Structure 1
Amino acid sequence: MMLKQLYYIHDPMCSWCYAFKKTFDELISNLPNDIEVIYVCGGLAQHTTEIMPKAQQEKIKSIWEQIEKELGVKFNYDFWTKCQPKRATYLACQALILARKVNKEAEMIAAIQQAYYQKAMNPSEEETLIKLASQIDLDKEKFTKELNTQATQKLLEEDFNLRRNLNVKAFPTLILKYKKEAYPINIDFKNSGKMLEQITNLSENTYF
């Protein structure tokens, strides 16, 4: 039996993706066995060593506040005083690529989100990602060596190409795919049941 694919397009440093985590976890725990979940790194921001401008910091803080108000998800604002914020997420995405190789991608996503949003650690920094790799029992030496190589960057670019082919421009996004058919799933941050119902209905469609 050919599996259907549920693509989850995200970025580990996307605050809305963090806000979606609990509901998304509920969704995937209830998916039918013939649906495979595939994580796709969308890539919010390229590599940079520059400190994020104050205006941009304030904009992101306002997004955190909006999420707290609308969804009740809490953030640790100490990040903005304890860290040097950089508008750079590609390195964190590359950490996911390495974790994927040993089937620990979901664990690394959770580790990055906890570090960033709850522990005021900066996943734009290599040092932070190496600590998190050790935390989830990845080979620290191998991870450190491969984190920012051209080979890892090339694998990440493959994710970006897949995201483009799926015509995705916002995170988080869910797309159910089978053979040549692709169906966007309406994101519901509060109710996994509605998304599961949509996925189930599509799975029963004659196209499948």
Structure 2
Amino acid sequence: MSMPTLYYVHDPMCSWCWGFQPTWNRLLQQLPSSVSVKRLVGGLAPDSYEPMPEEMRHYLQQTWRRIETELDRPFNHDFWRNNIPRRSTYPACRAVIAARQHDLETEMIEAIQKAYYLDARNPSDLQVLKSCASQIGISEKVFVEAMDSAELEYQLQTEIAQARSMPINGFPSLVLESEGQRLALPLDYHNEAVMLSVITSKLDPKFIE
């Protein structure tokens, strides 16, 4: 019997993923050790060098304020004054996959989120991503070579396709794969115990410690 897997489908530049991060971290700490965890970057927005439309800027600024209010997560709103935002998250997704190859996936996600939401820097820009890589111990040369490689692009497209095959409606999403079945889990942004209860209820008792 295959081990159960919990898929976390996300995008490093998804503001609701930033809002969910503390609860997700607590859930990880409490999962049965028999449950493996796999992160999938879903790819919110493809490569683009076009400035973000004003309507989208307004929508995202309102979303940030909503997350601040509902989830008490900090945002540096200077981002909108100090940058020319682009609707382009694939570069950040590539950076996460590149860091995964060095077992630094979580560290890269955290570095990107900090740069974006706290330091008001734009992770759509390669220069910002190179800085994130350097912070977590990946040399600029190694990182840039990976980001430019056909292999990484293939991995990105394969992962996005896998994420889109999941029973999800957006990011972040949790999907439990157990005994050949995939079940979308309800998200609770405030209480990891709610999700943990659903997960354990779906597992064979032999997988629960």
Q: Structure 2 length normalisation: TM-score?
A: 0.95
Q: How does 1:84-99 map to 2 (within 5 A)?
A: 84-99=84-99
Distance 1:186 1:47 in 2: 30
Distance 1:128 1:196 in 2: 35
Distance 1:47 1:150 in 2: 15
Match of 1:30 in 2: 30
Match of 1:133 in 2: 133
Match of 2:62 in 1: 62
Match of 1:142 in 2: 142
Once the two structures are superposed, residues 20-68 of structure 1 have per-residue CA deviations (whole angstroms, 9 ceiling, x without a partner) of 0000000001111111110000010010001111221111000011111
Q: Identity across aligned pairs (percent)?
A: 37
Match of 2:167 in 1: 167
Residues 94 and 152, structure 2, Cα contact 8 Å, conserved in 1 = yes
Further displaced range: 142-151 or 39-48: 142-151
Deviation at 1:150, TM superposition (A): 2.2
Please report the RMSD computed on the Cα atoms of aligned residues, expressed in angstroms. Answer: 1.6
Further displaced range: 96-105 or 177-186: 177-186
Distance 1:120 1:150 in 2: 30
Residues 48 and 86, structure 2, Cα contact 8 Å, conserved in 1 = yes
**Which blocks of at least 5 consecutive residues in structure 2 are unaligned?**
none
Once the two structures are superposed, residues 131-153 of structure 1 have per-residue CA deviations (whole angstroms, 9 ceiling, x without a partner) of 00010001321111121332211
State the aligned residue count: 207
The answer on 1:113 being equivalent to 2:113 is yes
Distance 2:4 2:102 in 1: 22
Q: Structure 1 length normalisation: TM-score?
A: 0.95
Once the two structures are superposed, residues 90-130 of structure 1 have per-residue CA deviations (whole angstroms, 9 ceiling, x without a partner) of 00000011011111111111110011000001000000000
Residues 3 and 35, structure 1, Cα contact 8 Å, conserved in 2 = yes
Distance 2:44 2:169 in 1: 10
Deviation at 1:205, TM superposition (A): 7.0
**Which blocks of at least 5 consecutive residues in structure 1 are unaligned?**
none
Q: How does 1:70-81 map to 2 (within 5 A)?
A: 70-81=70-81
Further displaced range: 15-24 or 176-185: 176-185
Deviation at 1:4, TM superposition (A): 1.1
Where 2:199 maps in the other structure, the secondary structure is: helix
